[in-house]
Structure 1
Amino acid sequence: MTPDERERLERRFTAKIVVDGTGCHMWQGAHNGRYPTLSLNGRTVYGHQLAWTLEHGRAIRPGHQIDHTCRTPLCVNPDHLDEITRRMNILLGSGPSARNAAKIFCDRGHPLFGDNLYTAPNGWRVCIMCRDGRNRKYAAKRKVAKLETAWLAEHGEATA
């Protein structure tokens, strides 16, 4: 991008910004219902990604996303934007994954840390006390079913 093209883009970009009382640069242009959008060379780009790229002079690294530290999706203030991994972006949010990751007790009230925590290969955290309880219950059901099958095989004619 030539310096003239960059200057035109920056003027076009900043014309759609209003600074609010919190320091957020609120996007006044088009958006997709959540994030600011801008048409650039026939492509739609996100305003917060463009703001970050213009500020840092490089593309966003593969596997990374731009996080709004102010938690305001329409903000394009480069000081409110961080380049982080997708996982970190999810965990910093308020969705189910972030809420579960923040839990220190399982749904039954057992501690979800130390010797009572198992982290599965897929990253899921498992309460060992609950897991062992489920395993005991399953083993007991299998034992009863096995005994019933053996009893029916032995006394099958008596029940017919």
Structure 2
Amino acid sequence: MQSTEFTQQQLIGQAYVLERISRVQRVAGFDECWEWNLKLNRDGYGHGRFAGKGMSAYRASYLSFVGPVPRGLHLDHLCNNRACVNPAHLDPVTRVVNSKRAVERDRLNGTGHWAQREMCSKGLHAMTDDNVYLRDMGGRTKRLCAECVLEGGRRWRREHPERAAEINAANYIKQKARRAALKQSN
């Protein structure tokens, strides 16, 4: 914890978080996970209304007990438990570090964030290492089925042949310009 002086809003938030958690479990200290067993979103993160705003329970807990999350950083669950709201288990890191840690946890014990889906969202393909496409979604990395992404591209090109031809022509011109620039630099 960074500071022992809390604002009135933080004290209210602390009382709210602890009261909600104590309805379903006893808070034994900062070593154990504080499970948010009330409303969980579809990804398994606790969610609720805090100070009149809809917010993730772990963010509300961090805000209440530690303070604001530094700009540009995300909270990583060191315990790898999405329902945990213990601020001692939350580490502010960049999105890249958070994603790398999730992948590394998955490699080490098979229970990381990336291991939770075995089949693609359509239920057609296995989400194996060979069939996973990581897409940057403007602040978070999404794990997609590579086969479904390829098929979606093929379908779009069939449905929009004129636009696909324009894009292919533009990409060809860019590629030709890059090759010419490389030849000049050599």
Aligned CA-pair RMSD: 2.8
Question: Aligned partners of 1:71 and 1:29: how far apart in 2?
Answer: 18
Check conservation: 1:70, 1:80, Cα contact below 8 A. yes
Match of 1:80 in 2: 89
Match of 1:134 in 2: none
Matches within 5 A, 1:8-157: 8-17=12-21, 18-19=25-26, 23-33=32-42, 34-57=44-67, 59-94=68-103
Structure 2 residue runs of 5 or longer lacking an equivalent are 1-5, 108-129, 131-186
Higher strand proportion (structure 1 or 2) = 1
1:20 Cα deviation after fit? 7.6
Question: Aligned partners of 1:24 and 1:74: how far apart in 2?
Answer: 9
The alignment-based identity, stated in percent, is 25
What does the per-residue CA deviation read over 1:31-82, in whole Å, with 9 as the maximum and x for residues that have no partner? 212111121244211111111122222x212221000000000001111110
Question: Aligned partners of 1:20 and 1:10: how far apart in 2?
Answer: 12
Structure 1 residue runs of 5 or longer lacking an equivalent are 100-106, 108-160
SS at match of 2:35: strand
Change (3 A) 1:63 1:2: closer
Say which structure, 1 or 2, has more relative contact order (CA 8 Å, 6+ apart): 2
Question: Aligned partners of 1:93 and 1:49: how far apart in 2?
Answer: 18
Check conservation: 2:13, 2:60, Cα contact below 8 A. no
Match of 1:120 in 2: none
1:92 Cα deviation after fit? 0.5
What does the per-residue CA deviation read over 1:102-134, in whole Å, with 9 as the maximum and x for residues that have no partner? xxxxx9xxxxxxxxxxxxxxxxxxxxxxxxxxx
Q: Match of 2:57, as an amino acid?
A: G
Aligned length: 96
Q: Match of 2:20, as an amino acid?
A: K
Matched, 1:7 2:11: yes
SS at match of 2:49: strand
Match of 2:172 in 1: none
Choose 1 or 2 for highest CA Rg. Answer: 1
